[in-house]
Structure 1
Amino acid sequence: MSLEKIKTVTLADVSINNKGEYGIGASAVDYSDELYTYLRITDINDDGTLNKNDLKSVDDVDAKNYLLNENDVVFARTGNSTGKAYYYDKMDGELVYAGFLIKFSLDSSKINPKFMKYYVLSKDYKGWVNSMCTGSTRPNINAKMYGNMELILPPREQQDFLVNILGEIDNKIEINKMINKNLEKTLITIFNSWFINFENYDNSKGMKIDDSYGEIPVDWSVEMLEDYVDFVTGVEPGSKNYHEKPEPNDIPFLRVGDLGSRDNGVFIDPSLSKNKILKYDDIVLSLDATIGIVKMGLEGAYSTGMRKLVIKNDNINQPFLYCLVKSNRIQRIIETFATGTTILHAGKSIKHMNFVLSDKKTMDDFGKIGNPIISIILTNLKEIEYLTNLRDTLLPKLMSGEIDVSEVNCDLELKYNYMKYLFNQIHTPMSKSVV
């Protein structure tokens, strides 16, 4: 592709009305199906997707005037999240954007609107945001500044190809995430049925009363979790030893924030890990800051805000433990015994975590169901990691036109496989595995 075909435009140039619009200045209220969903800065993940974990609603007579529509993109304008961006996806439902967000409605005759979805993930965009925020005690980028942001725009056919190929990768990632969500939901449903509601228990054997649980199976018992699981605390190597870009032999270092939507992982020298290492099938639980997060599919050293859960014997199994620490009862215990105001600490909750231990046959039967499910989930996480690296590595090369196969006469699947081939030639992914 010749350089003459690439042009430089501003965001305002390719937007309807050639300007951005500020969101509604209203307070968030508890989520309600009868109200519009309120899109706030905190609802936008670092990868530009919608964080659906704590959505709120907006109750304002003018809310309908601030609904996002197809081809809209919003940007965070102030605070530490300045520069966060979200490209509206109608699958996320009707969204009203808040006052700390700025909306640009893209003109589809001037740009493939989804091109912006990927542009805001690029190094060029992140570099522009950093240049705008340098030296600011409280970063702020207003609508005019966003409107003047320059875009290096490849020809339309290259934009279309970039959107198609990266969209295909994103679709594969979302399918895997949906499969994992459904598999986990199925596993937890079975767990609740067997170990919370005792629906798989032969009632003819009888029930007994426990002071803390009420009725439980007569041949089951209430036990303390720490008698069956070691809660291994992580390590703190000190922020001065963090490397934003990995040096030779470095390993990922996972902090509590990396278990959520944060996408700025760091690396450390292995000698600083003190052998506090997570393997891909380990279960980790956060007990500091954002407490109660349960994850698998992570690799690397981990911080003191987390505990690796190591099963001591075969009286319980991994699928059972995973479901147990995610259960409402254990989560309530973590919340109840947490201390602190600004930063929560819930390490003391370990001493209070109890559970109902089943007979060995029931536990083993659950393992036979749960182990294959966990295996599929972890396999899907590995593929998500690979696909994410594939997308992020190819993105700048497609943006710049360095890779241009828009005129290759083959279907999208073949082009996708070609992209994977190129990826493997230019990049060997280092596992960070936070999903």
Structure 2
Amino acid sequence: MSEWREITIKNAAQTKGLIGGPFGSKLVSRDYVETGVPVIRGQNLGSGRWVDLTDSVFVSESKMERDLASNLAEPGDLIYTQRGTLGQVAIMPSDAPSCVISQSQMRLRVDPSIADPKFVFYWSTSPYFRKAIADHAIVAGVPHINLGILGSLPLLLPPISVQQSVARVLGSIDDLIENNRRRIEVLEEMARSIYREWFVKFRYPGHENVPLVDSELGPIPEGWAVTRLEESATFVSGGTKTKAAYADTGFVAFSAAGPDGFLSDFEIDGPGVVLSAVGARCGKTFWASGKWSSIANTIKIIPKDSSLTAAWLRFTTEDTNIWPKRGSAQPFVSISDARGVKSVRADHETHRRFEEVAMTMIDEAGALRDMMRSLIGLRDTLLPKLVTGQIDVSSLDLDTLIAEQVV
């Protein structure tokens, strides 16, 4: 620790390396075009280490060159949120194009002779740095910070070689997390594609020999039926527990925003769906498995026969448009309305065969999700200790730690 030193974020920046977004009318929504130079906004941060440009808006090359050339971010730069969800930070990927940062973002270009950008990223996600942001944030109106505040915040630095080792260890864990996330997405999309083929397009095994007949939901295969969801599942209100009841460890708990905490007890042991019943995510559903619970503003949907309806129920309930919403300022779905939603049920044999195929993929994705949660727990335990020197990175046996954590 004798070689560690504390500087400020500004001290780690290259000349003109710490900049903010464009002022005032230099960038407004009417400047957006269909293709061009991506603009980094808050929604491009927050999903991991890297700036995610999947859902980007754009400005033209001429607009960038004329008004926004001083507001560019390049690969390796760090992007911080200035207002809104304070504490968000991400790195520009190595294969990213030049991007314009929005009015609500700030860019740090690290001087590599002083600091490793990836180490600075991990320091910036530590509880120490986030507390410093909270302590210095301007709370009048929308909570925010500015370039002066960001530049003045502390940065604890060991020698460059140690910084690189710390970033390498934490990056290895994040690589495993991201690899699991990609594998989960592939498995779930494979199962979802089979569902669409069988239950939306009616191209299930043997469909060639089955005629379509009229129903209240349109033509469906002969022998299938239109039923209310309550015939396939039990609906249970999320109850009155709130996030205040969350524990440090325990069983996964769902709020209206998704799986975001733990409860010391569980209500369900097995597969099911959690419906966000109130607020901005009203109508969105989340898959649950193992031992789990949900809190207020949710509805638990439990398949009556998990061997025949679990996977089918999951994909049937994904369409947010099926849920009848009431209210305007604060939309909600009532449990009685949810029970009455109508859907097309196949014959017994088709359901059995679908569950046999789809649940294999879903169960594999579930095991990967459990592993991912364990890896996130390991990273979150190690990170604050590594970036402050409480753990000597040279003494870590990462392979053993990972093996012990994911068993």
Give TM-score, length-normalised by structure 2.
Answer: 0.86
Residue 359 (structure 2) pairs with residue 367 (structure 1): no
Cα separation, partners in 2 of 1:238 and 1:387, compared to 1, 3 Å: closer
Contact 2:272 2:287 in 1 (8 A): yes
Contact 2:40 2:53 in 1 (8 A): no
Residue 286 (structure 2) pairs with residue 295 (structure 1): yes
Name the amino acid aligned to 2:379: R
Shift of 1:119: 1.1
**Counterpart of 2:276?**
286
SS of 2:100's equivalent? strand
**Counterpart of 2:87?**
83
Residue 338 (structure 2) pairs with residue 346 (structure 1): no
**Counterpart of 2:388?**
400
Aligned length: 395
Distance 2:128 2:11 in 1: 18
Distance 1:216 1:30 in 2: 47
**Counterpart of 2:124?**
120
Name the amino acid aligned to 1:6: W
Name the amino acid aligned to 1:338: K
SS of 1:99's equivalent? coil
**Counterpart of 1:387?**
375
Shift of 1:323: 1.3
Cα separation, partners in 2 of 1:139 and 1:315, compared to 1, 3 Å: closer
Residue from 9, 15, 18 that aligns with 1:17: 15
Instruction: Work out the percentage of aligned pairs sharing the same amino acid.
Output: 20
**Counterpart of 1:376?**
364
Name the amino acid aligned to 2:285: V
Shift of 1:345: 0.7
C-alpha RMSD of the superposition: 3.1
**Counterpart of 1:312?**
304
Distance 1:242 1:155 in 2: 42
**Counterpart of 2:255?**
255
Q: Which moved more, 1:93-102 or 1:166-175?
A: 93-102
**Counterpart of 2:322?**
333
Residue from 3, 6, 20 that aligns with 1:8: 6
Cα separation, partners in 2 of 1:315 and 1:402, compared to 1, 3 Å: closer
**Counterpart of 1:415?**
397
Distance 1:345 1:102 in 2: 36
Distance 2:361 2:307 in 1: 20
Cα deviations across residues 185-244 of structure 1 (Å, max 9, x unaligned)?
11111111111111124333322122322x2111211111122111211122356x446x
Distance 2:224 2:258 in 1: 38
Name the amino acid aligned to 2:327: G
Distance 1:38 1:86 in 2: 14
Residue 121 (structure 2) pairs with residue 100 (structure 1): no
Give matches, 1:257-276, under 5 Å: 257-259=257-259, 265=260
Name the amino acid aligned to 2:397: K
Name the amino acid aligned to 1:387: L
SS of 1:13's equivalent? helix
**Counterpart of 1:224?**
228
Residue 176 (structure 2) pairs with residue 189 (structure 1): no
Shift of 1:267: 5.8
Name the amino acid aligned to 2:237: T
Distance 2:63 2:268 in 1: 49
Distance 2:142 2:210 in 1: 65
List runs of 5+ in structure 1 lacking aligned partners. 260-264, 409-413, 430-435
Name the amino acid aligned to 1:190: I
Give matches, 1:210-221, under 5 Å: 210-213=215-218, 215-221=219-225
Give TM-score, length-normalised by structure 1.
Answer: 0.81
**Counterpart of 2:35?**
34
**Counterpart of 1:433?**
none
Contact 2:180 2:369 in 1 (8 A): yes
Name the amino acid aligned to 2:215: D
Distance 2:232 2:27 in 1: 49
Contact 2:177 2:375 in 1 (8 A): yes
Cα deviations across residues 79-129 of structure 1 (Å, max 9, x unaligned)?
4x2232222224566643210111111122211111122112111111101
Cα deviations across residues 236-291 of structure 1 (Å, max 9, x unaligned)?
2356x446x64xx97665322344xxxxx566675xxxx7x344643212121112
Cα separation, partners in 2 of 1:31 and 1:351, compared to 1, 3 Å: farther
Distance 1:399 1:170 in 2: 15
Shift of 1:31: 9.1
Cα separation, partners in 2 of 1:268 and 1:43, compared to 1, 3 Å: same
Distance 1:349 1:104 in 2: 50
Distance 2:296 2:128 in 1: 34
